[in-house]
Amino acid sequence: QVQLVQSGPEVKKPGASVKVSCKASGYNFILYGINWVRQAPGQGLEWVGWISPYNGQTYFAQNVQDRIILTTDTSTNTAFMELTGLTSDDTAVYYCARELDRLEVLIVWGQGTLVTVSS
Amino acid sequence: SYVLTQPPSVSVAPGQTARITCGGNNIGIKSVHWYQQKPGQAPLLVVYNNNGRPSGIPERFSGSNSGNTATLTISRVEAGDEADYYCQVWDSTSDHVVFGGGTKLTVL
Put simply, the answer to whether B86 touches A45 (Cβ < 8 Å) is: yes
Confidence of residue A103 (pLDDT cuts 50, 70, 90): confident
Residue A37: its H or E element: strand A34-39
Alpha carbons B17 and B15: distance in angstroms, whole number? 7
- A43: CB partners within 8 A, 6+ apart: A92
Confidence of residue B46 (pLDDT cuts 50, 70, 90): very high
Alpha carbons A44 and B98: distance in angstroms, whole number? 11
Nearest to A45 among B43, B95, B96 (CB): B43
CA nearest to B45 within chain A = A107
> B108 exposed, middle or buried (CB, 10 Å; 0-12, 13-18, 19+)?
exposed
Question: What mean pLDDT is predicted for residues B61-71?
Answer: 98
Put simply, the answer to whether A59 touches B96 (Cβ < 8 Å) is: yes
Put simply, the answer to whether A105 touches B1 (Cβ < 8 Å) is: no
Q: State the nearest Cα–Cα gap between A15 and chain B, in angstroms.
A: 26
- Restricting to B residues 9-28, those with a Cβ less than 8 Å away from any Cβ of A are none
- pLDDT tens across A30-63, in order? 999 999 999 999 999 999 999 999 999 999 999 9
- pLDDT tens across B69-103, in order? 999 999 999 999 999 999 999 999 999 999 999 99
Put simply, the answer to whether B97 touches A47 (Cβ < 8 Å) is: yes
- pLDDT of A28: 97
Whether A101 shows a pLDDT value over 90: the answer reads no
- pLDDT of A102: 84
Contacts of B89 in chain A (CB under 8 A): 104
Contacts of B88 in chain A (CB under 8 A): 45, 104, 106
- pLDDT of B41: 97
- Please provide the average confidence, as pLDDT, over all residues in chain A: 97
